[in-house]
Amino acid sequence: MQPEVLAFFHADSNTFTYVVADAATGAAAVIDPALDYAADTGEVGTHAAQAIVDAIAQHGWQVQWLLETHAHADHLSAAQWLKRHWPQARIGIGDGIRDVQQTLAPRYALPDDFCADGSQFDHLFADDERLELGKLQVRVIAVPGHTSDSIAYLIGDALFPGDSLFMPDAGTARCDFPGGDARQLFASIQRMYALPEDTRVFVCHDYGPGGREVAYQTSIGEQRRSNIHVRDGVEIDAFVAQRQARDATLPEPKLIRPALQANLQAGRCGGVSA
């Protein structure tokens, strides 16, 4: 089945948030929602998140899930703020979040009573877990590599790979964060490439390389044919060498500290958490 997909671009972090719905039943999920954040003042805003609320209200959909593909380091999750609007919605993330919490909590001054057990989230997904969104089936695919908690959501014919895959002319995600591993990412991408070629792929980030307009939708077939980092015929050692060389040139995300402080806690942050 083909879900209805709405894309929302958060320009400050080059993040795409998706609303995925079964139009027949009105059941919906929000994937990777972002808050506005002013790094100079620490002020949190909800303009981008409000646009999502308004669009869902216009369609009359009922949000069942607020889904994270991993604990992002480049934006603050809007999951907690959105849960105020839809108290029945459950916040879900991959069960690898526990390892990420254990590794990163000491680095980012989380509260003394913080528990690195994933309990801040409503549900922790296991690899290949299945759930229903209306009449749509959702499959969770563990795709470690960018981070150890990275997962992708396959909903009907639509794949949401988080940061693991970008548009074909942008390649793949960095693997130099704690717990990242380029060899794991290569293997994870091969799992996704085993899906049917006409599977739609909705990326989480795009930066408009070469000055083109930002884009968010591609397909497994297009990725296999033309992804600049990992396409058919590229061997794992070549990919790892290229990925590691590229990662060595990348700066730390500018919002990494506030983003992880919030996102390791399912989006709880000052002035916004429920």
Task: Quick: pLDDT tens for 62-91.
Answer: 999 999 999 999 999 999 999 999 999 999
Task: Please say whether the beta carbons of 218 and 161 come within 8 A.
Answer: no
Question: What is the value of pTM for the model shown?
Answer: 0.96
**pLDDT, averaged across the chain:** 96
Q: Does the pLDDT of residue 191 top 70, yes or no?
A: yes
Quick check: 127 pLDDT over 80?
yes
Q: What is the CA radius of gyration of the chain?
A: 17
Q: What is the pLDDT of residue 96?
A: 98
pLDDT at 271 (0 to 100): 40
| 272 has a pLDDT exceeding 70 | no
Average pLDDT over residues 14-26: 98
Q: How many CA atoms lie within 13 A of 199 on its CB side?
A: 21
pLDDT score of 274: 33
Closest CA to 263 of 110, 84, 83, 113: 110
pLDDT in tens, 194-240: 999 999 999 999 999 999 999 999 999 999 999 999 999 999 999 99
Confidence band of 48 (pLDDT split at 50, 70, 90): very high
Percentage, residues of the chain above pLDDT 90:
93
Please calculate the CA angle 46-120-22 and round it to the nearest 5 degrees: 60
Q: What is the mean pLDDT of residues 97-103?
A: 97
Those residues whose C-beta lies under 8 Å from the C-beta of residue 52, and which sit 6 or more positions away, are: 8, 17, 19, 30, 33, 78, 82
From the options 3.30.450.60, 3.30.390.30, 3.60.15.10, 3.30.43.10, give the CATH code of 4-263. 3.60.15.10
Tokens 């929602």: give the residue.
33
Section 101-129 average pLDDT: 95
Q: If pLDDT is split at 50, 70 and 90, which confidence band does 270 have?
A: low
DSSP H or E stretch at residue 261? helix 256-263
